[in-house]
Structure 1
Amino acid sequence: MAQIEIYTKAWCPYCTRAKRLLGDKGVSYEEFDITMGGPKRAEMIDRAGGRTTVPQIFIDGHHVGGSDDLAALEREGRLDALLNA
């Protein structure tokens, strides 16, 4: 099973959407709440190539993008292969 990391903020509907999709897939993920900023926010921005919006999702260290990107992978039928790598 792939290692999934997701950076989120409280009350973020896009974060909720992404976590729901991952939950529906039955996969576990490590969540980093960056609501209050701090070093994890800086880490996310660095890892995500300067992106500051949440969520930012990584699968096996590869930057997938945000909620829309994750949903697009699912629509295209490519998400399961990434999650089961």
Structure 2
Amino acid sequence: MEFPPNQGLDQDEVDERVAEALEENEVVLFMKGTELMPQCGYSRKALGLIDQHRDEFETVDVLDSLDEFRQALSEQSGWETIPQTFVDGEFVGGSDVLEELEERGELEAALETA
């Protein structure tokens, strides 16, 4: 069985997708996999934490163009790891930061939008 090379998007397309997602959505989670099928434990954890406090938020599956999404997100947040959560276009953190905010009782407020 052969697997074709990465058939993902080019860097410009990914940059545009990231910019649009941040501009058009109050809360965005860039994650590995989808809301119904997270593909890594960290993405699953971040999804669950956000879902406790928000009924509506956007998720973006980065797996088809992982390297390009890492680059685009790094330019926005200064972080290369996935998942990444943004509120009103501002970087909040990955699953570890969300977990810390939840433990301190601050996650709900961090996920509120202006």
Alignment TM class, shorter chain as reference: 0.7 to 0.9
> Which residue pairs with 1:7 in the alignment?
30
User: What's the secondary structure of 2:101's corresponding residue?
Assistant: helix
Q: Map 1:37-76 to 2 at 5 A.
A: 37=65, 41=69, 42-49=71-78, 51-76=79-104
Question: Which amino acid is the alignment partner of residue 84 of structure 2?
Answer: Q
Unmatched segments (≥5 aa) in structure 1: none
Larger Cα Rg: Structure 1 or Structure 2?
Answer: 2
Normalized per residue, the structure richer in helix is 2
* In 1: Cα distance, 2:26 partner to 2:108 partner: 13
* In 2: Cα distance, 1:79 partner to 1:58 partner: 12
TM score, norm. by length of structure 1: 0.81
Structure with the larger RCO, 1 or 2 (CA within 8 Å, 6+ apart): 1
Deviation per CA, 1:58-78, whole angstroms, max 9, x where unpaired? 111121110010011111111
Percentage of matched positions with identical amino acids? 31
CA contact (8 A) 1:22 1:28 kept: no
Deviation per CA, 1:23-63, whole angstroms, max 9, x where unpaired? 122432111111022696032121121x2211011111121
Residue-pair matches, total: 83
